[in-house]
Amino acid sequence: MDAESQDTIEIGTGQESRSITVRSRSGSNPGFVWLGGYRSDMAGTKAQAMDEWCARTGHAYCRHDYSGHGASGGEFKDGTISKWLEESLAVFDRFTSGPQILIGSSMGAWIALRMAQELTKRGESGRLHAMLLIAPAPDFTHELMAPQMTESQFAELEEKGFLEEPSEYSDEPNVYTKALFDDGEKNRVMTGKIDTGCPVHILQGMEDPDVPWQHAMKLTEFLPGENVSMTLVKDADHRLSREGDIALILGLAKILAKEPILD
């Protein structure tokens, strides 16, 4: 078993420069790349469970914190989908080789789908072996937030440049900036066919208050018909971090890696 190493890379120049912290473990391919959610970090329960599983099975594994998250530099309020995508692609290029399985959790699924689009543009779609999208929240600013916002909230977003909402997962409120909304429009993926070039499996809780299971179903309409599958967990919430949920994630990882089902 190879030890996990921690590195930092600098992304951007001048005022856009930010230091990104990366943890990676060498091993066999397909490797796994963890893409976390909004305000999540790479030390979370699911990301850590994947690392332990990769250590046991010998798979390569890479995870990082977006700017403004966890151990990485930068201010959270300055973050946008474009910046976090740029960072994720730079980490992918620097710390992985050969076919990889992207695991996108919540907002991380949006980043994963945008990565697939950018890799395809570069002629590198073959780098993607598969995707596992957990409670996927692509286009959440447009699809999930905007329809629920009041006129006063839109006015506040314009006047103050940000919105604050209570968080179920932290004492600190969630902050959503106008820059995040504006940039989100430029990065929408649920507007036409999303050609990932690889199998996609979606894992979604049906008691998710943040990303309704209907959103995951809608996402499938934009994915190619072949090699797309979904697992719905009737009593699961957005976190999908219970012991049974973790076991399900690891089981799906094994299937996507095309490992024997039996140990």
51 is catalytic: no
Residue 70 has φ and ψ, to the nearest 5°, of 50, -125
Report d(CA 37, CA 137) in Å as an integer. 9
Catalytic position from the list 208, 210, 237, 245? 208
Strand 162-165 relative to strand 174-177, pairing: antiparallel
CA dist 149 and 22 (Å) reads 35
User: Catalytic site residue 28?
Assistant: no
Q: Hey, what are 128's tokens? A: 């993607």
- The neighbouring-strand residues paired with 109 are none
Radius of gyration for the alpha carbons in the chain, expressed in angstroms and rounded: 18
Nearest to 33 by CA among 142, 143, 130, 153: 130
Is 238 annotated as catalytic? yes
Q: Catalytic residue among 59, 106, 183, 210, which?
A: 106
Q: Are 96 and 128 in contact (CB under 8 A)?
A: no
Q: Which residues contact 149 (CB under 8 A, 6 or more apart)?
A: 157
| Phi and psi, residue 163, nearest 5° | -125, 145
Nearest CA among 124, 101, 122, 123 for reference residue 112: 101
Q: Which residues are catalytic?
A: 106, 208, 238
